[in-house]
């Protein structure tokens, strides 16, 4: 459910249509995006926009009750992983880890995938919508 200040119309539209447990993906520049899932491509060049900036804005707008991340992120990109965990800890959001191969399968169930310019390996997250009441 939509919360407040996002100005990207495509992302705002997708969030406004989301119900409880629907999912939205934010990904790095390299994640394969299934043909039958809406692609919202924000990538301009390496690092722009960043994964973490995009994640923060979406998290301000979408009520999230759970996330799914690839377990490989903890070892391969620990700095980004720790930053995500710090943000999520303030929101009381449940975290689930799956292998990257399973993560890619899970993206097929998403309402949309937001592609960033991030070049950090495994900078991908599935956000599960909560409810605001």
Binding-site residues for substrate, in ranges, read 28, 100, 122-124
- Taking the alpha carbons at both ends of the chain, their separation in whole angstroms is 10
Q: Which of 17, 20, 99, 108 is catalytic?
A: 20
Q: What SS3 state is found at 72?
A: helix
> Is 20 an active-site residue?
yes
State residue 97 phi and psi, 5-degree precision.
-115, 140
Closest by Cα among 63, 76, 64 to 30? 76
CB 3, CB 77: distance < 8 Å: no
Q: Would you say 105 and 2 are in contact if contact means Cβ atoms under 8 Å apart?
A: no
Distance CA 76, CA 79 (A): 9
Annotated binding site: 28, 100, 122-124
Which positions are catalytic? 20
């Amino acid at each position: 459910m939509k919360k407040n200040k996002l100005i990207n119309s495509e992302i705002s539209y997708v969030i406004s249509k989301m119900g409880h447990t629907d999912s939205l993906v934010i990904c790095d520049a390299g994640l394969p995006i299934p043909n039958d899932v809406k692609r919202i491509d924000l990538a301009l060049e390496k690092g722009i926009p960043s994964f973490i900036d995009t994640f923060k804005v979406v998290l301000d707008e979408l009520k999230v009750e759970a996330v799914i991340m690839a377990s490989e992120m903890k070892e391969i990109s620990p700095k980004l992983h720790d930053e995500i965990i710090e943000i999520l800890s303030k929101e009381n959001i449940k975290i689930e880890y799956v292998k990257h191969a399973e993560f890619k399968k899970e993206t097929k169930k998403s309402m949309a995938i937001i592609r960033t310019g991030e070049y950090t390996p495994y900078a991908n997250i599935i956000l599960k919508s909560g409810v605001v009441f």
